[in-house]
């Protein structure tokens, strides 16, 4: 177990003036207890990331920073959205910390899971995912859509941790590696499994937001889900090709049907030709689009310039 482990807790905040004081109070208690129990170094801090808030969030963060040396902050030049704000915070915090935990400002994620996260880090894990064991406080709609989304992503071949949002502990080296992922459309919870290393999970119950309202209205949520799918899977492009083949197959059936009708004499003149043509050309076009899609998918993956491998241990350096 490493002595004097410096922990930074990174918290993106967008218009969170209503919750910041209470969040600060609870986190102060938690951090002080952790420091007292020698679980983390006294150099540990909570880093608030102001994501271009329109209210007094940044003033509040500066105030808190003045009063409490446990709290610090950075401010983005404008609102860039949760994922970008979080990445900005993680990339800044990794310069000062050994381990970094990310969470939301509203403390919906149980801060008591932090102890177990640190234990699992000490047991040799580089990433510890916080997983929601129950979603009792979420509405039926949010729960069903969210869980459906995780299942759908897995179906598309994207590795995401079921019911894990952005509450996680990572080691410094994971973030160093993450900084080599050059993509602009961020879906962080899909990227960490790609980074790899040994990981574990911690289960907790998700609570209700104690003040203010969700900064993720349905529209943002749908955009986020769509981003997740299109940033991680080219399967939708491949589906076009499959549908094309299906249509082509149907066109053969239709051809037989149309010819039989013609032989029986059940048709007006020109019908057979038109019917067969429409189906056949439709299928052909779809396959062509699918083939172009295949190449676009390749180009897309190349432009992301993700690292092709990450070395976890090198015996030469021991």
216 binds, among Mg ion, ligand UDP, none (CB under 5 to 8 A by kind): ligand UDP
Q: Quote the strand ranges of 87-126, DSSP E.
A: 99-102
Site map 13..52 versus ligand UDP, x via CB under 6 A: xx-x----------------------------------x-
Judged by CB under 5 A, which stretch of 41-49, 66-74, 108-116, 169-177 contacts Mg ion? Answer: 108-116
Residue ranges in 185-214 that form contacts with Mg ion under rule CB under 5 A:
209
The answer to the question of residue 108 lying near Mg ion (CB under 5 A) is: yes
Helix (H, G, I), strand (E, B) or coil at 95: coil
Edge-first strand listing for the sheet containing 164-171: 71-75, 45-50, 7-13, 99-102, 164-171, 127-134, 199-205
CA distance 258 to 72: 74
Q: Of the candidates 5, 7, 81, 102, which one interacts with ligand UDP according to CB under 6 A? A: 81
Residue 228 and residue 187 in contact, taking contact as beta carbons nearer than 8 Å: yes
CA distance 177 to 185: 17
The answer to the question of residue 132 lying near ligand UDP (CB under 6 A) is: no
Site map 198..237 versus ligand UDP, x via CB under 6 A: -----------x----xxx---------------------
Q: Of the candidates 106, 109, 166, 177, which one interacts with Mg ion according to CB under 5 A? A: 106
CA distance 92 to 97: 9
The answer to the question of residue 85 lying near ligand UDP (CB under 6 A) is: yes
The answer to the question of residue 17 lying near Mg ion (CB under 5 A) is: no
Cβ closer to Mg ion: 12 or 228? 12
Residue 110 and residue 85 in contact, taking contact as beta carbons nearer than 8 Å: no
Residue 73 and residue 61 in contact, taking contact as beta carbons nearer than 8 Å: yes
Cβ closer to ligand UDP: 52 or 282? 52
CA distance 101 to 11: 9
Cβ closer to Mg ion: 165 or 195? 165
The answer to the question of residue 177 lying near ligand UDP (CB under 6 A) is: no
């Amino acid at each position: 177990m490493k002595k004097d482990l410096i922990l930074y807790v990174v918290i993106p905040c967008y218009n969170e003036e209503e919750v910041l004081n209470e969040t600060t109070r609870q986190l102060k208690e938690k951090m002080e207890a952790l420091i007292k129990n020698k679980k983390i170094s006294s150099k540990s801090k909570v880093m608030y990331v102001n994501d271009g808030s329109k209210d007094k969030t940044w003033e509040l963060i500066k105030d808190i920073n003045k009063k409490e040396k446990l709290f610090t902050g950075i401010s983005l030049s404008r609102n860039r959205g949760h994922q970008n704000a979080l990445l900005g915070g993680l990339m800044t915090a990794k310069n000062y910390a050994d381990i970094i935990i990310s969470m939301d400002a509203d403390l919906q994620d149980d801060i008591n899971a932090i102890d177990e996260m640190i234990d699992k880090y000490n047991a040799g894990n580089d990433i510890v995912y916080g997983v929601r064991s129950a979603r009792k406080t979420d509405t039926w709609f949010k729960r069903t859509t969210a869980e459906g989304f995780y299942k759908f992503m897995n179906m598309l071949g994207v590795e995401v941790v079921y019911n894990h949002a952005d509450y996680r502990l990572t080691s410094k080296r994971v973030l160093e590696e993450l900084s080599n992922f050059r993509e602009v459309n961020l879906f962080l919870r899909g990227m960490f499994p790609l980074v790899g290393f040994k990981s574990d999970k911690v289960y907790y119950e998700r609570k209700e937001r104690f003040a203010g309202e969700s900064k993720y209205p349905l529209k943002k949520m749908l955009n986020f889900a769509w981003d997740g799918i299109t940033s991680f899977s080219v399967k939708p492009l491949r589906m076009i090709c499959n549908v094309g083949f299906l249509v082509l197959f149907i066109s053969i059936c239709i051809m037989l049907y149309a010819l039989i009708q013609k032989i029986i004499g059940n048709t007006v003149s020109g019908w057979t030709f038109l019917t067969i043509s429409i189906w056949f050309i439709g299928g052909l076009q779809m396959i062509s689009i699918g083939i172009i899609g295949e190449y676009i998918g390749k180009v897309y993956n190349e432009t992301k310039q993700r690292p092709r491998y990450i070395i976890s241990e090198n015996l030469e350096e021991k």
